[in-house]
Amino acid sequence: MTPVSQTRVLRLGTRRSALATTQSTWVADLLRANGSKVELVEVTTHGDVNRAPLAQIGGTGVFVSALRDALLADAVDLAVHSLKDLPTAAADGLVLGAVPEREDPRDALVASGGRTLADLPAGARVGTGSPRRTALLRALRPDLDVVAIRGNVDTRIGFVTAGELDAVVLAASGLARLGRLGDVTEFFDPTEYVPAPGQGALAVECRSGDAEVLQVLAAIDAPHVRRAVAAERQVLASLEAGCSAPVGAHAGEETLHVAVEDHAGVLVRRARPFATVPDEPSARTLGAEIARDLLQHELRPHTSAARGGDPEVTLENHPQDRSDDGPRPDPESGS
Ligand SMILES: NCc1[nH]cc(CCC(=O)O)c1CC(=O)O
């Protein structure tokens, strides 16, 4: 009799969007190359059918929770997420089975006329829905007009093509996966324009008790990417920042870079050596240390107050705290 492991077809749950489908297909092909049988199963999420601003319907988590529900209900065996959209808290009964090789982690500018950020004139209209990208744009070019946008990659680039915006900022990884790298007019230096924690990486989740899937996923895991994203995500977790907070964290081979916007809208930066960090636990320790240092010596990330975090400290340290300092309208994950 044939063992189950040779006949089981792994059901990979995916959202329908072009980016999600491309990411899921990439993981499915990786697994197939390792000898697994994989089929894609479409899972509809609240965030895909609702056009309301994401913050109103629960933020980036709406894209993740439907896939997690499908895993827990045994409707699918695997789910692929953009790691940067995955909450830092683990889900009961699920485990991060694989973090495969990472795509380009940088942010990229798509501007009309082939222009770079430096080429744009004062008052140029630059679109993004991300508080982090907005904070970085304001720090580098306070003279620009940052416009809040939402929509998938095609929609965002369409604003530039149609002349409604001079430029948009997008993840190079999403553009690469969709075959749109040709539209990029500048790749931002990740040590300066610090990407979102986990940007460009994928997370493959499965049920923690599914030994067969765990074994299959171990073969496509990239430990050096896990180590990098562990540090980046720990910064976010330790800052108690939600997914919409303006926190950038990027671990390159040499250095872990962090950029956080404080209550007054000032961008604060940290950098620590990363080459000698040997493993995931050490990476998390480093991320936690940077966060602790930021909380002690600089200002708290502005979402802390909105989420009820230690208002005394916040008010004492930031008498200039602005009244409009609530959650930003659109989290990073508009597509
Ligand atoms: N904002 C939504 C989102 N979620 C994941 C990606 C792709 C980036 C990645 O692979 O991390 C994107 C597009 C973007 O940020 O431009």
Mean per-residue pLDDT pooled into runs of 10, the chain (335 residues): 68 95 98 97 72 50 87 97 92 97 98 98 97 96 97 96 98 98 98 98 98 97 98 92 72 97 90 97 97 80 43 32 34 41
pLDDT of 51 reads: 54
**Residue 265 belongs to a domain:** yes
Verify whether residue 85 is a known catalytic residue. Answer: yes
pLDDT of 60 reads: 57
Helices (H), 34-75: 46-49, 61-72
Q: Is any atom of ligand 1 closer than 6 Å to the C-beta of 173?
A: yes
Task: For residue 153, give the CATH number of its domain.
Answer: 3.40.190.10
| 303: three-class secondary structure by DSSP | helix
Tokens of 241: 């920042």
Same domain for 14 and 75: yes
Tokens of 153: 């990659």
**Residue 196 belongs to a domain:** no
pLDDT of 35 reads: 95
Q: Is any atom of ligand 1 closer than 6 Å to the C-beta of 333?
A: yes
Same domain for 157 and 20: no
**Residue 331 belongs to a domain:** no
CA-based angle 94:98:102, to the nearest 5?
A: 135
Cβ burial 181-191 (10 Å sphere, 16+ → b, else e): eebbbbebebe
Question: Measured between alpha carbons, how far is 318 from 300 in angstroms, rounded to an integer?
Answer: 9
Same domain for 128 and 163: yes
Q: Is any atom of ligand 1 closer than 6 Å to the C-beta of 170?
A: yes
- Report the nearest-CA residue for atom 5 of ligand 1: 82
pLDDT of 37 reads: 97
Q: Is any atom of ligand 1 closer than 6 Å to the C-beta of 220?
A: no
Provide the residue range defining the domain that includes 135.
107-187
Same domain for 60 and 20: yes
Going from the Cα of 59 to the center of ligand 1, the distance in angstroms, rounded, reads: 14
**Do residues 288 and 295 touch, judged by C-beta distance below 8 A?**
no
The amino acid present at 202, given as its one-letter code, is: L
Same domain for 119 and 9: no
**Do residues 126 and 165 touch, judged by C-beta distance below 8 A?**
yes
- Report the nearest-CA residue for atom 15 of ligand 1: 171
Task: For residue 309, give the CATH number of its domain.
Answer: 3.30.160.40
Same domain for 172 and 307: no
Same domain for 158 and 28: no
Same domain for 156 and 95: no
Going from the Cα of 290 to the center of ligand 1, the distance in angstroms, rounded, reads: 25
Long-range residue pairs from 117-123, CB within 8 A, at least 24 positions apart, any chain:
117/141, 117/167, 117/186, 117/188, 120/144, 120/166, 120/167
Q: Is any atom of ligand 1 closer than 6 Å to the C-beta of 134?
A: no
Going from the Cα of 85 to the center of ligand 1, the distance in angstroms, rounded, reads: 8
Same domain for 245 and 120: no
**Residue 333 belongs to a domain:** no
| 184: three-class secondary structure by DSSP | coil
Same domain for 250 and 134: no
pLDDT of 265 reads: 87
**The one catalytic residue among 77, 85, 183, 210:** 85
Tokens of 237: 């977790």
Going from the Cα of 12 to the center of ligand 1, the distance in angstroms, rounded, reads: 20
How far from each other are the two terminal CA atoms of the chain, in whole angstroms? Answer: 46
Same domain for 111 and 86: no
Same domain for 87 and 217: yes
Q: Is any atom of ligand 1 closer than 6 Å to the C-beta of 183?
A: no
pTM of the model: 0.85
**Atom number in ligand 1 closest to CA 173:** 10
pLDDT of 62 reads: 72
Cβ burial 43-53 (10 Å sphere, 16+ → b, else e): bebebeeeeee
- Report the nearest-CA residue for atom 9 of ligand 1: 200
Q: Is any atom of ligand 1 closer than 6 Å to the C-beta of 200?
A: yes
Total count of domains within the chain:
3
Going from the Cα of 271 to the center of ligand 1, the distance in angstroms, rounded, reads: 24
